[in-house]
Copies of this chain bind each other. A is one copy, B any other.
């Protein structure tokens, strides 16, 4: 058994989160790229408990040292793992930052940037955190590229990212319905929609509840960033799919590898397919999050073995597009208080 396999086994045992030698390798690659803990998470794209535990073990084995708020790779690391290269940032397209999308040609970027300046700030109470304006506009551009906006009825379950407003600014949808628990976001969305005469309406709604029966089978497109603990994810996705019309209806889902291991992703993907959908796109690192103020109050912060600066963006998620291939046979279920956000892998909320 080589060292990476041993380290991987120990990390898995200590954290309870499934991992692999490859994950340890990706973390070592990230260590060679940045001394900042959050950037190491960013580049390795592995769950925070896994990254934190790996760093502790690598320190014990004298592959790295911790100095103030930094992770310092030692000569021993470079010698032993000379095959593991730093993260190849230079391979990401500099123009689209890896999205594959030309956001400028959508024609809404300037307007959206102006509106975004005045948006309500994310708060921990609702597990909020918003992607940067370029990511919101990028998501809408991808939706347009896939013919999922023009003439469509679109439902957004939770809208920290103001996707509803961005969709509205294209003036193309038939109807956009935004549901969110946060009255500040709903009022902001409705105010902008009225001022600019956008085809968007927003309602305060606690998404743990069942959706109103009137929404069943009504929408062409779903947008949501579901919680990533297994049970809430399943209930959220099923509820979203329940509101869709049928085969050909699409879903745009944000999913992270920072709050989910690849093992958990495999289970979540199985839920999606079992619910009657196919996955047509997974573009990694598509949604780039802005820094959020409550970061030092999260489990992620507690787990961090050194308290590195977090003044640079580090958190991101993949955009995952689904398309229904069957008439949905899913439930519209209540999500119980005790089930939400509870998961050893989800630490940033």
Which of A186-194, A242-250, A303-311 lies on the face that meets chain B? Answer: A242-250
- Answer yes or no: A298 CB below 8 A from chain B CBs: no
Q: Are A279 and B283 in contact (CB under 8 A)?
A: no
Q: Mark A77-96, 1 if CB is under 8 A from B, else 0.
A: 00000011101101111111
Chain B residues near A23 (CB-CB < 8 A): 248
Q: Are B248 and A266 in contact (CB under 8 A)?
A: no
Q: Are B248 and A20 in contact (CB under 8 A)?
A: yes
Cα A284 to Cα B100 in complex, Å, equals: 10
Partner of A269, one of B88, B250, B269: B269
Q: Are B262 and A266 in contact (CB under 8 A)?
A: no
- Answer yes or no: A280 CB below 8 A from chain B CBs: yes
Q: Which residue of B lies closest to A146 (CB)?
A: B26
Q: Are B278 and A247 in contact (CB under 8 A)?
A: no
Q: Are A151 and B91 in contact (CB under 8 A)?
A: no
Chain B residues near A278 (CB-CB < 8 A): 262-263, 265-266, 269
Copy number in the complex reads: 2
Chain B residues near A20 (CB-CB < 8 A): 246-248, 323-325
Chain B residues near A25 (CB-CB < 8 A): 147, 248
- Answer yes or no: A207 CB below 8 A from chain B CBs: no
Q: Are B99 and A93 in contact (CB under 8 A)?
A: yes
Chain B residues near A61 (CB-CB < 8 A): none
- Answer yes or no: A102 CB below 8 A from chain B CBs: yes
Given A96-B100, A325-B266: A147 and B281 interface contact (C-beta under 8 Å): no
Q: Are A323 and B93 in contact (CB under 8 A)?
A: no
Q: Are A323 and B147 in contact (CB under 8 A)?
A: no
Q: Are A84 and B151 in contact (CB under 8 A)?
A: yes
Chain B residues near A83 (CB-CB < 8 A): 150-151, 174
Q: Mark A281-298, 1 if CB is under 8 A from B, else 0.
A: 111100000000000000
- Answer yes or no: A256 CB below 8 A from chain B CBs: no
Question: Known pairs A20-B246, A20-B323, A91-B142. 4 more at Cβ < 8 A?
Answer: A18-B247, A19-B247, A92-B100, A266-B273
Q: List 21 A-B contacts (CB under 8 A).
A: A19-B247, A21-B248, A22-B250, A26-B147, A29-B147, A83-B151, A84-B151, A85-B150, A87-B147, A91-B102, A91-B142, A91-B144, A93-B102, A94-B95, A95-B95, A98-B100, A98-B101, A262-B280, A263-B278, A269-B279, A280-B282
